[in-house]
A = this chain, B = another copy of it.
Amino acid sequence: MTNVTRFPLLVLVGLMLGSLGLGCAERPAKVQRFGQVIGIKKENIAEYKRMHAACWPGVLKNLKDCHFRNYSTWLVEIKPDEYCLFSYYEYTGDDLDKDLAKMKADPVRQEWLKLSDPLKYKLPTAKDGEMWYKGEQVFYMP
């Protein structure tokens, strides 16, 4: 085989390897999705927005380290002057209980929650011991 014929072959090998692996390392096949909701008083919305537009790097690092990703939070006015926050996020790890325990043990996160938890209020329908009401997934399209 000449160098001329070998060149495209080797690039092709690399292309295949790259396609399989490196480029999509952040998109594993196994994903658990979550949707959860909590209340927020109108007077706390501005501060909640301010905090979450500049979330502490340590809080984000902790979430990433615990295999959470694609995390968004949405403000909705359910009724006039009655507001909720809805969060959607994905978990890509192998042990959710272990990662949740790791997440909660993080001192930076604990400091963050001392400031952000008082801005929200638990819905009357939320389970005992849980701040957020966990939604039930009723539809999914990839």
Contacts and interface: CB of A to CB of B under 8 A. Distances in A.
B136 A75 contact: yes
**Which secondary structure characterizes the binding site on chain A?**
mixed
Interface residues of A, number: 60
A113 to B, nearest CB: 14
Contacts of A77: 123, 125, 133
A94 to B, nearest CB: 20
Contact of A37 (B14, B33, B78): B78
A135 B76 contact: yes
Nearest to A60: B141
A5 interface: no
Nearest to A11: B14
A69 to B, nearest CB: 7
Interface of A: 3, 6-7, 10-24, 27, 33, 35, 37, 48-49, 52-53, 55, 60, 63-64, 68-80, 84-88, 123-125, 133, 135-142
22 contacts: A6-B10, A10-B14, A13-B14, A14-B15, A15-B18, A16-B18, A18-B22, A19-B22, A20-B23, A21-B23, A23-B24, A37-B86, A49-B138, A52-B138, A53-B139, A64-B141, A72-B88, A73-B140, A76-B133, A76-B136, A78-B125, A80-B125
